[in-house]
Each structure stands twice: as structure tokens, then as C-alpha cells.
Amino acid sequence: MSRYSLGIDYGTSSCRSVLVDLENGDEVAEAVYLYQSGEAGIIVSATDANVARQDPRDYVEGLRLTVSGALSAAATAIEGFLPSEVVSVGFATTGSTPLPVDESGEPLAFNPEFTDRPAAYAWLWKDHTAHAEARAITEAARLLRPEMIDACGGTYSAEWFWAKIWHCLATDPEVFAAAASWVELCDFVAGVITGTSRPDVLKRSVTAAGHKALYSDRWGGLPDTEFLAGLAPELAELRGRLYDRAYPTTDIAGYVTPAWAELTGLEVGIPVAVGHFDAHAAGVAGGVRTGTFVKVMGTSTCDVTVIDETESGVPPIIPGMCGMVSDSMVPGKLSIEAGQSAVGDIFNWFADKLAGRSDISAALSELGILAEALQPGEHGLLALDWFNGNRSVLVDQRLSGTIIGMTLHTEQHHVLKALVEATAFGARRIIQSIEDAGAPLDRIVAAGGLPSHAPWMIQTYADILGREVLTARTTQGSALGAAIVSAVAAGEFASIEAAQDVLVHFSDLEYRPDPAKVEVYDRLYEEFVSVHDAFAANGPLGQVMKTLLDVRDSTLAATA
């Protein structure tokens, strides 16, 4: 009899269930559901580009259809497949994607009274409406609770839990008042399938809590009421209706209910793990462990590793990390998250907006062939990958993309190569920051969707990092990671590491640095660092990009 774990990944525009064979990590069946609401699953606003909401009906419908779909696919693909062979279920979702719920745990969006109120829907990770609240939280925390803000890189983001909820209070107080609690998407879906939706029984994920809700055992869970009251009394009052404790993702959230067994074809009582964030789950599927640095590369890049907890329990200072959470990826370890705000997005932007190509993917493929043939430095260019700000190591959204070294002979493939190199230099700078803090990295893994699209990019990374780069075999890292972690939660493996040893595989493609290229790139990296540091806030050109953005913003405001 085989054993399978079901990983369910909620992305930005779709969700997907993937069935993983616990003998070998093979992904044996899957089903995808495209969200039906809004534009590609996102409810937007004609008047405010910052709005990005989702309809929780898509989550519930996607759960039913992809789980049943994956099981049907398995029945077709695998001779003698039995639903009882599915021994665990896990979720990995976008985040912070909080939604307001009533006392039963039902989304307010399901209440006819709030159907036409965007605030009652799920606030998708990329919703940026709460930037003013984020700034205020950052300032208050820096002044009053520096330890809290240190853990998330020194700046609280408009994309995160408290900023969004506070913005709901400020802009739709009725929805705020009607919310019995707020739950993260990863907890919501786990609650649905296990019948534990009621906010007072729902187990909250430490990954979601620690990253985005400023949760830590060090200060007794969520931020204290005094701090929250300083932001808004209503937030302090809400704290008691949230949660006191968050759980590692290797804990069991609950068990599949008879109703959901009926809806999906799963057996009743299958254990379901506490929900995960997609990037962290992908980190697990990329083999994250002490000394292993996993880059989950897509439109942006999320970098993860884990280090040992310090004796004091106070995380070490590693400049530029955007989150450090105990137990988030590997129980007993401190997870470290860094990131690059745009990676694949930059290449797509270039092909689409600058090169003006209608078929982006054909353009990148065609230009990629030419770019691959260029020797390091042959194009004479150096770029900064700050087209969407710099998440790590500068933690500064008010920075922008730059290309230096253009001549009248510069061609499109030169620029594409320089942009790829810029993201690799940025990656090297992040690795340098972690290693400088005393956490050596002996294995670099490129995961996510990007590596399989452009092997030459990964070779460029190897040459710029001066290290071998492994690529994850899976292209569904988040789903695979959710399957792995839930298998650990269900007791199928003794630890994350033990599960990874069986279930994580790397591609056969080898990306080893070419010493001659490394030498040139070492020289160019020095120049990258010079320019990087010059345009950083405290550098000699630190005011330039900020002035450009200030002038742009005030011009746009004046003409709006």
C-alpha cells in the first residue's frame, strides 16, 4: 500500500492540489482551479491601483474542486489508487492575506449585508492601500518596541496584517466592527476542511503570525494592548479576539470532516497540518536547512534559510532581512527571510514595456539566446535591480532601477543580460549579509518557476555567486512543501530533514561556476557594491532616487 500527502497551494490567481508519493517525492496527480472573481482572481478598484482583494468563495470552491480533481486524476493515473492512501493534507498560501470573519468563522464577505463592501473580502498580500498605516506602525514600533520591528527588517509593510486591519477600521468601520476576528488565508482554509473555523478554536500558523502580525513568544505573542491602543483603541480591543498562541506548521490543525470528505473524496479524519506561507513551504521543498539558502524565484524572489536559535532567544542582527521567525520552516530553528522585490517582473517589464514586444515570452527566449552568448562584461553595462524598491538588504521601497554604461551600440539583449546580472548581484549581496553575520551558507538552491524558464540565467547566477547553484526538480514547490510538512505533522517522518531526505530532489542540470567568468564578475561586483552603496539612503547619492520619486509623486498628485 502506498502513502500520499496532499499539498494545496493558494496562489495569487489560482489554487492547486498536488498529490505527493511519500516513497520518493514524485508528484503523481494534480488539479488546478482558476479563481473566478475579479480580474484573474483579484478584485481591483477603478480609482485606486492599491486595492487587491479576493472573494473567499474562490478559496472554498477551489478547495472542493482541486482536492476532488487531484484524487480523480490519481485514480486515473495510478492503478489501484485508494483515497485511504492519502495520509496527510497541508496548505501553503499567499500572505499576509487576512480576512474578516464572524463568530462562527464564516467570512463577512458571505454575509449578504457586506457583499458589496470590498473591506469585507480577503485582503490579498499585494493590496497596498494601507501604506499610511504601515508607516505609522513602523514609526511607533521604532520608538516604543524596537525589538518587534527588528524582527521584520526595521520596516512594517503595507502588505501586512495590522496595517490592513487598521486601514479597514479607518475606511470601513462597519466592517471592522462586524468582524469577530481576522484570519489569515492559510488558517482559514485549514479551518474550513477540518471544521475548526470558529476563531476561538482555530489554530493559527506561527509562520503567518510571526512574519506579518508581529507575533513572538519573546513578547508574549501578538503586540501588547498598550502598543496597539497607541495606534487605535479598537485594535487593542480586537487583540483579545485574535489569538494568544500560534502553532508550528508541523502541528496538526485538525482532521477532515465528514462533510468535506463527502465533498472531496478524502477519507474522514485525515490529519491536516497547520497552514503554511507559500514561500516558506517552497523553501522546505527546496531543501532548506542550516547552511542551505533557497531562492524561491518568480516575479519577485523570496530567499529563505534557517539558523540555530541563539541561547538568549534574541535573534542575531542580520542587516536587511525581512523576517525572522522561530519554528516557521524547521521546528527548533529560526527562519530567516530575505527577498528581492522584483526579479522575473523586471525581465517581463523589459520585454513588454521597454523593448515593446507583444509576445513577452517569445522575446525573452529570443533575446535570451543572444544574452547567453555574451561574455561577462562584454555589454559594458551595470544595473541595479531596484525596479520595485530594494527589499534586502536595504529594506527601502523608495529606490529605483538603474542602468549604467549604455552606449550607442547597446542592444536589447545586452540590457536583458545586465538586468539578469543585476538580480544575481543583488542575490550575492544578500548572501554576503547573512554570511557576514556568522551564518555560512554551503548550498544555494534556485527554486520557484523562474529557473526552469531560463537555464542561462541560473548559470549566470552561478558565475556571479561563484558557487554551484542547485535547482529544485519540482516546479510546484509550495504545494510540495505543504505536502512534506503535513506528512511530518501526521507522523510519517520524524523531522522535516528526514522528510526532505526522501522527498526533495534536485534537477540533473548542473550549474557550476566558470572560474574565468567568476574572476570578471568579482571585479564587476565591486562596482555593483560601489553603486549600490552610493544610492543607498546614507550614500553620497542617497537623495537622488528619493527626490525623483518625491517629484514624481507630487507631480502626479497635482495633475490627478
Shortest CB 536 distance to a copy of itself, Å:
13
* Grid cell locating 525: 561586483
Distance CA 274, CA 342 (A): 29
Shortest CB 374 distance to a copy of itself, Å:
9
Q: Which residues bind a copy of itself (CB under 8 A)?
A: 342, 345-346, 349, 353-357, 375-382, 387-388, 400-412, 415, 520, 523-524, 527, 530-531, 534-535, 540-541, 543-545, 547-549, 551-552, 554-556, 558-559
Instruction: Look up cell 508607516; give the residue.
Output: 135
80 versus 356: smaller Cβ distance to a copy of itself: 356
Residue 232 φ/ψ, nearest 5 degrees? -165, 130
Q: Report CA torsion sign: 275, 277, 282, 288.
A: negative
- N-term to C-term CA, the chain: 65
288 versus 394: smaller Cβ distance to a copy of itself: 394
CA atoms within 13 A on the CB side of 86: 35
Shortest CB 355 distance to a copy of itself, Å:
5
257 versus 301: smaller Cβ distance to a copy of itself: 301
The SS3 call for residue 305 is strand
One DSSP character per residue, 227-262 reads HHHHH-HHHHHHHTTS-S-EE-TTSEEEE--HHHHH
72 versus 348: smaller Cβ distance to a copy of itself: 348
Distance CA 29, CA 75 (A): 9
67 versus 342: smaller Cβ distance to a copy of itself: 342
Shortest CB 380 distance to a copy of itself, Å:
4
Residue 471 φ/ψ, nearest 5 degrees? -120, 140
Residue 315's alpha-carbon distances to 66, 92, 205, 294, in angstroms, are 39, 25, 20, 20
Shortest CB 553 distance to a copy of itself, Å:
8
Shortest CB 400 distance to a copy of itself, Å:
5
* Grid cell locating 488: 511530518
Give the contacts of 246 (CB within 8 A, at least 6 positions apart): 204, 205, 206, 208, 209, 210, 215, 221
Instruction: Look up cell 482559514; give the residue.
Output: 188
Shortest CB 302 distance to a copy of itself, Å:
17
309 versus 522: smaller Cβ distance to a copy of itself: 522
Using an 8 Å Cβ cutoff, are 71 and 16 in contact?
no
* Grid cell locating 308: 540555530
211 versus 414: smaller Cβ distance to a copy of itself: 414
Per DSSP (E only), the strands in 432-537 are 443-447, 469-471
The SS3 call for residue 201 is coil
40 versus 354: smaller Cβ distance to a copy of itself: 354
Q: Report CA torsion sign: 435, 439, 444, 448.
A: negative
293 versus 425: smaller Cβ distance to a copy of itself: 425
CB atoms within 10 A of CB 191: 24
Residue 247's alpha-carbon distances to 60, 287, 305, 516, in angstroms, are 23, 22, 19, 48
Q: Name the region of 291 (left: φ>0; alpha: ψ -120 to 50; beta: rest).
A: left
CB atoms within 10 A of CB 547: 11
Shortest CB 47 distance to a copy of itself, Å:
17
104 versus 407: smaller Cβ distance to a copy of itself: 407
260 versus 528: smaller Cβ distance to a copy of itself: 528
Shortest CB 549 distance to a copy of itself, Å:
6
Shortest CB 190 distance to a copy of itself, Å:
33
Instruction: Look up cell 547619492; give the residue.
Output: 541
Shortest CB 25 distance to a copy of itself, Å:
35
Shortest CB 50 distance to a copy of itself, Å:
13
104 versus 559: smaller Cβ distance to a copy of itself: 559
Whether the bond into 393 is cis, omega within 30 of 0? yes
Residue 307 φ/ψ, nearest 5 degrees? -130, 165
